[in-house]
Structure 1
Amino acid sequence: LVLRREREKLFKNLDGIRNMTKLPSAIWVVDTKKEHLAVQEAKKLGIPVIAILDTNCDPDEVDFKIPGNDDAIRSIELLTRVITDAIAEGLKARSAHAAPATPAAEPLAEWEKEILDSAAPSTEAPAATDAPVEA
């Protein structure tokens, strides 16, 4: 029973990294105090850390510091939305500049495909219909 619980806990916490084929280019951390292990591992592997820093955090642990409240959900949502929008914009710009004949260096993740698909202009124009207007 104890081993099964331990296995389930490990599977829940580490399942996302099982399918990673390479190290991430950077990591986004909201609370460096709570996620100190992730910050330490990123430092050991040379992965840049982008983080929201509150007054109780050590700025020397982070490569790219964003001063803000890491306890308030509204500030976390705002800063995370800004970061995700910047990532999406960068992906769109990179795909627009990439030559279509050259194969990608690595396959795109599902979320990258979704962003690029939503950014692609639709080739189908909506059909114009003449609807009667009631006065």
Structure 2
Amino acid sequence: MEKVEVKQLLEAGVHFGHLTRKWDPNMAPYIYMERNGIHIINLYKTAAKIEETSQALHKIAASGKKILFVATKKQAKDIVAEKAGNVNMPYITERWPGGMLTNFVTIRKAVKKMASIDRMKKDGTFLTLSKKERLQVDRLRAKLEKNLGSISDMTRLPGALFVVDIKREHIAIKEAQKLNIPIFAMVDTNSDPRQVDYLIPSNDDASKSIDKVLSIVTSAVADGLAERKSDKAEKAAAPAKKEAKAETKPVAEVVAANEEE
């Protein structure tokens, strides 16, 4: 797991909060001071919260559950798509599809539709359609890809949500709360931290800050996945070891018996 250095957080501008008049009083415990009308976040508390969050995400990844990353703001989109993609986790960077979690069955239907279009293209059925129909199917496929692209492999509800900017992604937060899905988030000084289970007090507006925090948490996810892989390999090897033991025992007995003779 990547070590959290306060100096690195400082360099990435993770400590810059919002204007003091826009603050949420529930963020008071995480605010260090005010400078030029802007709240400054206490980075020692941020570092502690990143460690806590990383450990929890590590466990979820090791258990085999998916973590859905959500960030639709311009400066976070590409970073989240890249970092979540690197650890094979689903992400939403376009508009949040309403009912994505609470109406998961409908979302799965849309994903199946996307898969059936892909099958049509593979088996040649697509070419039997008229030009107009092909155009309509292509448009539908592109629309589904834009909204659901990275969640097409998600066959069940995620084990957790990781959100950048909980104010912006309030619909996603509400849906996760309804279903008791743990919420992890970068929380700025203008948001209510009580809405999430694991918060990282941080600047959720600057791409440098988002990149730094995401790098650390996805590194913890990668470690969790690696742990799961090695556990699986050990379990698979265990029966073979038992068999090998069982086979060697009679040979040893035969040798002993020969020696006695």
TM-score calculated relative to the size of structure 1:
0.63
Distance in 1 separating the partners of 2:172 and 2:215 = 21
> Which structure shows the bigger proportion of residues in helix conformation?
2
Distance in 2 separating the partners of 1:91 and 1:18 = 20
Distance in 1 separating the partners of 2:143 and 2:170 = 19
- Structure 1 pair 10–40 and aligned structure 2 pair: CA distance change class (3 A): farther
Equivalent position of 1:105 in the other structure: none
Which structure 2 segments of 5+ residues have no match? 1-135, 238-261
Equivalent position of 1:85 in the other structure: 219
Distance in 1 separating the partners of 2:158 and 2:198 = 15
Equivalent position of 1:101 in the other structure: 236
Equivalent position of 1:114 in the other structure: none
- Structure 1 pair 9–35 and aligned structure 2 pair: CA distance change class (3 A): farther
Match of 1:26 among 160, 169, 175: 160
- Structure 1 pair 97–17 and aligned structure 2 pair: CA distance change class (3 A): closer
TM-score calculated relative to the size of structure 2:
0.34
- Tell which has more relative contact order, 1 or 2 (C-alpha 8 A, sep 6+): 2
Are 1:52 and 2:186 matched, yes or no? Answer: yes
Q: 1:46, CA displacement in angstroms?
A: 1.4
Deviations 1:54-113 (A, max 9, x none): 0111111101010000011111000000011000011111221233429xxxxxxxxxxx
**Matched residue pairs, number?**
98
Which structure 1 segments of 5+ residues have no match? 103-135
Match of 1:68 among 188, 191, 202: 202
